[in-house]
Amino acid sequence: MKAAIALAAALCGTPAFAGWEPTKPVEIVVAAGAGGASDQMARMMQAAIQKNNLMKQPMVVSLKGGASGAEALMYMKSSEGDPNKVLIAYSLIYMLPLSAKIPFNWRELTPVSVIALDQFVLWDNSAGPKTVKEFIEAAKAASSPFKMGGTGSKREDHVLTVFLEQKTGAKFSYLPYKSGGEAATQLVGNHTEANVNNPSENLEVWRAGQVRPLCVFDKERISYTSKVTDTQSWADIPTCKEQGVDVQYLMLRAMFLPGKVTAEQQAFFVELFHKVTQTAEYKDYMEKQALKPIFLTGKDMVQFLEEDDAINKALMTEAGFVAK
Amino acid sequence: MEALGLLLHGFAVLLTWKTLVLMMVGLVLGIFVGVLPGLGGPNGVAILLPLTFTMDPTSAIVMLSCIYWGALFGGAITSILFNIPGEAWSVATTFDGYPMAQQGRAAEALTAAFTSSFVGSLVAVLLITFLAPMISSFALKFGPPEFFAVYLLTFCSFVGLGREAKHKTVISMSLGLLLAGVGMDTVSGNLRMTFGSAELLRGINFLVAVIGLFGISEILLTMEERLALRGHAASISLRVVLGVWKDLPKYWVTLLRSSFIGCWLGITPGGAIAASFMGYNLAKRFAKDPESFGKGRIEGVFAPETAAHASGTSALLPMLALGIPGSGTAAILLGGLMVWGLNPGPLLFVEHKDFVWGLIASMYLGNVVGLVLVLTTVPIFASILRVPFAAVAPMIVVSCAIGAYAIQNAMFDIWLMLGFGIVGYVFKKIGIPLAPFTLALVLGNRAEDAFRLSMIGSGGNLKVFWSNGLVGSITTLAIVLLFWPVIDGLLGRVGLTQRTNATSR
């Protein structure tokens, strides 16, 4: 095993950082299961760092998706002062402490950078209704409520479903699956009528013509115009607002170190992930998975997190998902 | 035939010296990680994954999948020699494999395990080769009710077909279900039975429990019997191997039945575990003398190993075609695919033919080469039993502890493992079977989620379990199996079957 790690280390060249550097393999902690959007992103960064020799030490992905991701949060919390662990976080850092009363606060971790914003899209089976309007009408007319697949309970997918109900008056039965991938295949197999997956989670089944994107939950359309399927690009998907359903939600993808690390250690990772965002691997990935590029660090990041936290808290309260 | 042409093309991609060398390296590494208790396939593949980033995708997947085959072969070794199943689906192998080792028939048991692994994988690969398109659409038919029906079938077949006292099986299973509920409940998003402890958030890891229940409790039992060396010196020769092979045709029904169960369950995620137990139970059920199972009967090794490997291999199909990993190791391979820019999904078979058929061809070659490799090294592994127990025991305890720790890097898990060791010891003393407990622990959560999702979807109507032919027949079969002893008895009374003697005890 040691030989394997040494060999992996030898394969990475010499990086050009001054100051502090990791002395052990660095762990990217993923708060979700294998194959989910976080996992894919972590693997992309692992490959980008290794292929471009951005760090001497190898990077390993560690999946801590237990307890709907709470495992990863508690793991980071208990790793205070350890600069060899970075969390790839998403909106669960705000939601999980509210819905399940997990003793966790993101302010206890060290923020590194926000690296992307993820979209949500309303999808239905390609044999189903063709527009949002038809879809909502069909949902209202159905004898038993339409089944909406999603990841986890009282989380972003569930929140979106509640707001979709509020804005349209249609009723859905929300089915919490364990991962976005599972929600995707269940939609393809016609076990659910719709889902609100991230673009990356439904990309392959969309390309295979098995699902149809109805609208994207953002103020503006996705900017990528190259064709994804034979006829459509990400930019061709209308916004939900255009279609008369004013529901918006963007999800952060951000990197955190455990609490109580030194400023030097924090600076190393800020620089590292800045370099990652410059690589071809990152840019390809952003376009392929239809993510919004963004790079925030320091004060800007904290301000962003505070505002985002407030938005999420308001949504969760309104949806009635905050545990008493 | 189109599949045949594509397969030949796959072999052409593979047959270079470079890939063959990578294959051997992968297999040796795989057997090595498979043999270390607790380290197992998923961890081994995860550690070695970054090594392959600089390779082209086909070489990389060949090497990784060979690590996978190697780990599958290697997992049987610890189950048989030390009663410590490395992977969840090796649990059933310990039932007869370990007694065989104790009787000095370790070499025979190992040969049987490797051979049946090979047979199971081969059947599954043949299935993948010729039925790939059909199978992936079959897997899509599985929604929550279908998944629940399959889990129900597994549980019911355990109660109905098991030979242990029914009430003890049910007690054991219920305790397992109870512990499976610890941690986050995905359906409601709430925490259950964590009592405010951050350590219990994760729930109780199945492997930690298994290492304790089987490994540690066995050490405790052996110590009680005054450090006696239980395994006798195993003499191994080509004769043993050929002897097992010569008898192989006698067990063709078992092998075929287990392969069938394995392939069928492998296509549904998590199926390998259910498959190995079911394979074992059915072999026992249909045997003329079921009492001899659990006491070192070679069929008790053939049945679960064939089923587990048929299932483990066919589980790669939903991973490739749908992106649903059927096992922990398959999940890491899935991560690997994405790093190489290959997105698993229905289009993978169309857009990356070289890769897919190269992988399928490597399943054939890897299994053949792997079988030869493990068989030639059987003497080395079996010779571990000749080392005095007093020297081996501490090493086993240490590697159990390392294994339990490594799963989640948590010290708490070591205490949990020791706790389960004591539970296992007590269970063995009072004759409560461990298998239903472990089965419930690993499938309990999934069964519960599937049941509740079915209920949400149907508005609480139980009729959903008979809503179409597929789910209806599985559910009905499950209920028939649950009450099998009663049904069998009734049939016997009206003279419809000769098997009254099997249920009269």
Domain A121-236 belongs to what topology?
A: D-Maltodextrin-Binding Protein; domain 2 (3.40.190)
pLDDT at A9: 45
CA dihedral B48, B51, B57, B58 (to 10 degrees): -70
To the nearest whole Å, the CA of B221 is away from the closest chain A CA by: 33
* Chain mean position to CA A1: 32
Do the Cβ atoms of A88 and A55 come closer than 8 Å? no
Domain spans, chain A: 2-6+25-118+251-319, 121-236
- For the cut 80, the answer to whether the pLDDT of residue A290 exceeds it is yes
Going by pLDDT thresholds of 50, 70 and 90, the confidence category of residue A40 is: confident
To the nearest whole Å, the CA of B222 is away from the closest chain A CA by: 31
Domain spans, chain B: 2-503
Q: Using the beta-carbon criterion (under 8 Å), do B347 and A204 form an inter-chain contact?
A: yes
CATH homologous superfamily of A2-6+25-118+251-319 equals: Bordetella uptake gene, domain 1 (3.40.190.150)
Q: Using the beta-carbon criterion (under 8 Å), do A34 and B191 form an inter-chain contact?
A: no
State the Cα–Cα distance between residues A225 and A237, nearest whole angstrom. 10
To the nearest whole Å, the CA of B184 is away from the closest chain A CA by: 5
Q: Using the beta-carbon criterion (under 8 Å), do A100 and B54 form an inter-chain contact?
A: no
Do the Cβ atoms of B73 and B40 come closer than 8 Å? no
More reliable by pLDDT, B493 or A248: A248
* A177 close contact with B: CB closer than 8 A: yes
* A203 close contact with B: CB closer than 8 A: yes
- For the cut 70, the answer to whether the pLDDT of residue A45 exceeds it is yes
Q: What is the pLDDT along chain B (505 residues), one digit of tens a residue?
A: 567 777 787 787 777 888 888 888 888 888 877 766 555 566 666 666 666 766 777 788 788 888 878 877 877 887 888 787 766 677 888 889 888 888 878 888 888 998 888 899 889 888 888 777 666 677 778 889 988 988 888 788 778 776 678 899 899 999 999 999 998 888 888 889 988 888 888 888 877 887 788 778 878 887 887 655 454 445 557 778 888 888 888 888 889 899 988 888 877 655 677 788 888 888 888 888 878 888 888 888 999 989 988 888 887 877 777 666 656 666 667 767 766 767 666 667 766 777 888 888 888 888 888 888 888 876 776 666 667 777 777 877 887 788 788 777 788 999 999 999 999 999 989 988 887 887 788 778 888 999 999 999 998 999 999 999 989 998 998 899 888 888 878 887 776 544 444 443 3
State the Cα–Cα distance between residues B184 and A152, nearest whole angstrom. 10
More reliable by pLDDT, A315 or B485: A315
Do the Cβ atoms of B279 and B261 come closer than 8 Å? yes
| ipTM rounded to 2 decimals | 0.84
To the nearest whole Å, the CA of B134 is away from the closest chain A CA by: 14
* A44 close contact with B: CB closer than 8 A: yes
Find the length of chain B: 505
- For the cut 90, the answer to whether the pLDDT of residue A264 exceeds it is yes
Place of tokens 């949002």: A132
Q: In chain A, which residue's Cα lies nearest the Cα of B49? A: A60
Do the Cβ atoms of A215 and A238 come closer than 8 Å? yes
To the nearest whole Å, the CA of A153 is away from the closest chain B CA by: 5
- A-interface mutation test, from B136, B204, B343, most A Cβ less than 10 A away: B343
Of B48, B183, B186, the CB nearest to A4: B48
B345 vs A contacts (CB less than 8 Å): 203-205, 207-208
Q: Using the beta-carbon criterion (under 8 Å), do A210 and B346 form an inter-chain contact?
A: yes
More reliable by pLDDT, A20 or A33: A20
To the nearest whole Å, the CA of B372 is away from the closest chain A CA by: 25
* A3 close contact with B: CB closer than 8 A: no
What value does the mean pLDDT of chain A take?
90
**Element of type H or E holding B426:** helix B411-430
Do the Cβ atoms of B436 and B176 come closer than 8 Å? yes
Put residue A247 in one of left, alpha, beta given phi > 0 → left and psi -120 to 50 → alpha. beta
Q: Using the beta-carbon criterion (under 8 Å), do A208 and B183 form an inter-chain contact?
A: no
* A239 close contact with B: CB closer than 8 A: no
Cα Rg of chain B (Å, integer): 22
Sheet holding A292-296, edge to edge: A59-63, A26-30, A85-89, A251-257, A110-118, A292-296
Least confident of A166-170, A206-210, B51-55, B82-86: B51-55
Of A147, A182, A204, the CB nearest to B345: A204
Put residue A80 in one of left, alpha, beta given phi > 0 → left and psi -120 to 50 → alpha. beta
Print the SS3 string covering chain A.
CHHHHHHHHHHCCCCCCCCCCCCCCEEEEECCCCCCHHHHHHHHHHHHHHHCCCCCCCEEEEECCHHHHHHHHHHHHCCCCCCCEEEEECCHHHHHHHHCCCCCCHHHCEEEEEEEEECCEEEEECCCCCCHHHHHHHHHHCCCCEEEEEECCCCHHHHHHHHHHHHHCCCEEEEEECCHHHHHHHHHCCCCCEECCCHHHHHHHHHCCCEEEEEECCCCCCCCCCECCCCCEHHHCCECCCCCCCCCCCEEEEEEECCCCCHHHHHHHHHHHHHHHHCHHHHHHHHHCCCEEEEECHHHHHHHHHHHHHHHHHHHHHHCCCCC
Q: Using the beta-carbon criterion (under 8 Å), do A34 and B334 form an inter-chain contact?
A: yes
Query: Which of A184, A191, A150 shows the shortest CA–CA distance to B324?
Result: A184
A186 vs B contacts (CB less than 8 Å): 143
Please say whether the dihedral angle defined by the alpha carbons of residues A152, A157, A163 and A166, taken in this order, is positive or negative. Answer: negative
Task: Please enumerate in sequence order all residues whose Cβ is within 8 A of that of B287, keeping only pairs 6 or more positions apart, or say none.
Answer: B293, B299
The predicted model gives A24-41 an average pLDDT of 85
Q: Do domains A2-6+25-118+251-319 and A121-236 have the same CATH topology?
A: yes
Do the Cβ atoms of A31 and A75 come closer than 8 Å? no
Which amino acid appears at position B242 of this protein? L
Least confident of A40-49, A60-69, A130-139, A248-257: A60-69
Of A47, A144, A185, the CB nearest to B140: A185
State the Cα–Cα distance between residues B334 and B342, nearest whole angstrom. 9
Q: Using one digit for the tens of pLDDT, what is the confidence trace for B432-473?
A: 888 788 778 877 888 899 999 999 999 899 999 999 998 999
pLDDT at A313: 95
